[in-house]
Structures are given as C-alpha cells and as structure tokens.
Chains A and B, each alone.
Chain A
Amino acid sequence: MMIKQLSLFLENTPGRIQEPCRLLAGAGVNIRTLTLADTQQFGILRLIVSDWEKGRQVLQDAGYVVNVTEVVAVEVDDRPGAPPRQPNQYLPGDVDRYAFDARKGQDLVIAVSARDVLTLPQEAIQTIGGESVVFVREGADRFVARPVEVGDRVGARRAVLRGLNGSEAVAVAGAFNLKAELLKSTLSGE
C-alpha cells in the first residue's frame, strides 16, 4: 500500500518544530507519525498525517516548502522479526533510509519504507549465464540486455533492487524471446 508523506524544510534552531505542529493541530489534521532528519544547519521533517492534502495546504499557506512523496506502508506485528501481515507484501530487507512506525489498533505497527520498491513481472526478468537481466528498450525496436539485481518476490512480481531507475521501458511478455534471440546470435557468432 502506498501512502503520502509530507516533508518540509526546517532550519535547525530551537523551537522550529512547534509551528508546523500547531498549524496542523489548528486545522484538525492529526499527525500519525513523524520522523526528523537533521544536519547541523537544517532538518527535514517527514510527516504522515490523517489528511495529507489539507495538511499540505495549511503548511504551504504558512510559507513552508512541502514535498509530497509516496512511501510504502507495511503492516507487521509488534514483535521482533515479525513478517508482513499480508503474505505478498514486501518488506525490504533494507528499509534503508528510514522507517516509521505508527500504531493501528492494539499492537499492530505499520512500518514504512520510503524506498519505492520497483517491481517487475516475473517474466520480464531473464537469466543469462547466471546473471539476472532485463531487456531495456533503446530505440524503435532495439532492446538491450541490462544486468539487474533482483530482490524478493512481491506477489507475482519481483523487486528490482539495482540496475533500473524506473523510467526505462522494459520488455515483459517478449523477454524470453529476446533472450533466445540474443543467445542464438552469440552462438552463431562463435
């Protein structure tokens, strides 16, 4: 499940966090959870609120720069090593950048990873010489094999951890044929 997260820029001086909280409270927007990333000079306050559109509006009207990013929400039980509640949900092994937790009901926690997990249908990922590759479109009918690092299964799809940035067009249904063509041409070349 994707949810919206608000991030805002704050200077790193005492009392800076007060005003946004007060503004949100005034507008009746509830903060579900927050995290703060800071450096010596400034910080980024990341918020998950009950009504992100209203929250953004209130903060922007007050002069804050607000970014909206989508984050992945995963429900897990509140105990060590608990797997995601939904079996096909993907909890990245490296919730690398940051994680939130928010209570929902008694002891259920939503872990949120801000890393957009890129997934591809299983058939788009082919293996050549033990290496996982996808076929990226470069030109009208030219596809080039590109090595990728794959992660866990996400339902019928598979997470791609490295090698793609998400903007590429990738062959899905024809990927196997492309692999066959590629192997054929390398064979005949030898």
Chain B
Amino acid sequence: MSEKLQQDSLWIRRRIIELAHNAGANGSHTGGSLSLVEILCCLYSNCDIASDGTHERNRLILSKGHGALALYATLERYGKLSKEDTDTFETNGTKLFAHSSRIVDKGLEFAGGSLSLGLSFSVGVALAAKSHGYDNQIYVIVGDGECNEGLVWESLMSISNYGLNNMTIIVDNNDLQSDGFGSDVMNSKPLTDKFSAFGFDVHEIDGHNIDEITQVLNTKHTNPKAIIAHTTKGKGVATMENNPSWHHGIVNDVIYNEAMLNLNGGTA
C-alpha cells in the first residue's frame, strides 16, 4: 500500500510540474501544492472520498484553495478528472484555475481561494450531516498560513460547540506563506495546543510519511479530529523546497527540466 502511494505521489508531483509548466507565465502555486501531495494520496486511498453527489458521501473540502493544482492532479490520478480536464488548467475559459470551482461530480466540493471560508462552510455541511443522522466524515484541509484568518477560529469554536466529531481538519503545516516563514510573518504556533484548547483530538505527524498519515486517518475519534501535518513547501523539487519565492512562481523550461530530474531521482 505504502509503495503504491509513494508511486502515486511521485506521479502527482510530476503532473503538478507539467501543468505548472504548461501554465507558463500565468504562474501557479507550486510550493503549497507540492506540500499537500501525500496528504491527498492518503485521503483518496483510505477515506472513501466520493464524488457521486449522494448526501451521505465523505467529502474533502480544500479550504486552502491555493493547493488546487495538487487536488486536480490527484483527482486525475484517481480517475475523477480526465487528462483533458486537467490540461485546461489556467487556460482561457477553464473551470480549473488557480483556485478551484465547486463541481461536485468531479470531486471539487468548494470554490476556494478566499482563505478560511471553506472551513466555515464545512461546519454547515457537518451540521447538516448530523441533522440527517448520517455517519459520514467531512475532511477539511487548511494551511498554517490560513490560520492567520479570524474566521478559522470562529469556525473551530463552533465545531467544538456543536461537538462535530464527523469533522477531520488537516493542517498542511509548511510554515511558509506569501511573504515568508510563518514564524516571521505572523506566528500561529503552537497550533497543537490551540486545537487542543478548542476541544479537538490532535495528532502531530510528518505530513510526507505515508504510514503516519494513513495510521492517523484511520484512528477513531470521539471529538473533532485535527491533524497537524508538518510538511515542506515545494517538497520534492530542490530549488522550490522551503523557498518562499515558490509560493507562486513560473515554471520555465530550465526549472521544469531541473524539477523533472529531481522527481526522477536525480539532482540538478
């Protein structure tokens, strides 16, 4: 299982770089997409995330809309988007731009982009599920930079207040945001203590370790669950790793070749 997911992750990273390269001068959010890859692979492989439109479906809501490119590539890997779909990334008239649209039957649950709105929306979705008596799970991915937003904390307060143990929040904790390192811009640490104080079952893991992610996703929980996944922005491409300038950047031919070499196991 772990080996297959590692192969999936590699495929998805290559596809992210290809699509970013195709987008050319439009640029794309490569760094924050590359940090998300293992998390997305494990969610789609372990959690029965459905795109069949049934009300009882498990959902993944990408509140961190800036990671949409990783989601598109993952949905292609798992057959929910076609290559023809993802090839439209950042072309005129596309529905697959830097931040996703809501297209439920393609597995895109939320029109992300404005940070924190997806988490607040998810609270309503989880309340509706409880109200119907469904036994499903609502997975939400937020970024650590996104946790600067006040609405994140309004949402966490309400998740705790309503006892929404049908929610799992995964923080893609790559410690980078547009202006630089989170600890320099606006320090939101310690996230674990904060989520605990809000009544969550909190797990801290290596967000690139497939075994750790799988295990924590499969851990039963009676309270709302929060997974603080420590990740590396730009993971897998040497020049992008932990480099603030790859929050949003242009993958030209040189970068593309370097990146593909890295992702094929070599160094540039």
B is bound to A: no
Give residues in B with beta carbon < 8 Å to A: none
